[in-house]
Amino acid sequence: MREFELLGHVYEASQSLGESIIIPPGDDMAMLELDTPRLLAAVDQLVDGVHVQLATTPIEAVGRKAVTRCLSDVAAMAALPVATLVAVVLPVDFDEPTTKTLFDAMRETAEQYSCPLIGGDIAFHKKKTGPFTCSVTALATPRAGRVLQRSGAHVGDSVYVTGTLGGSVKPDGSGRHLAFEPRIDEALELLDRLGERVHSMIDLSDGLGRDAGHIAEQSDVCIEIWAEDIPVTPGCDWRSGLGDGEDYELCFTAVGNVPDMLGQVPVTRIGQVVEVARHGDDRPEGRVWVRVDGDWQRVDTFGWEHGTK
Binding site for Mg ion (CB under 5 A): 73, 203
Min CB(229)–Mg ion separation in Å: 23
Min CB(291)–Mg ion separation in Å: 26
H or E, element range at 253? strand 250-254
Task: Tell me the H-state helices in the chain.
Answer: 3-12, 59-76, 96-112, 184-194, 208-219, 238-243
Q: Is the Cβ of residue 203 or residue 247 nearer to Mg ion in the bound state? A: 203
Min CB(81)–Mg ion separation in Å: 14
Q: Is the Cβ of residue 73 or residue 244 nearer to Mg ion in the bound state? A: 73
Q: Are 265 and 163 in contact (CB under 8 A)?
A: yes
Which one, of 25, 119, 32, 113, lies nearest residue 69 by Cα?
113
Min CB(203)–Mg ion separation in Å: 4
Q: Is the Cβ of residue 73 or residue 249 nearer to Mg ion in the bound state? A: 73
Q: What is the DSSP letter of 73?
A: H
One-letter amino acid of 32:
L
Task: Report the C-alpha gap between 238 and 244 in whole angstroms.
Answer: 10
Min CB(72)–Mg ion separation in Å: 6
Q: Is the Cβ of residue 10 or residue 215 nearer to Mg ion in the bound state? A: 215
Q: Is the Cβ of residue 181 or residue 203 nearer to Mg ion in the bound state? A: 203
Inter-helix orientation angle 59-76/96-112, to 10°: 30
Q: Answer positive or negative: Cα dihedral of 210, 212, 215, 219.
A: negative
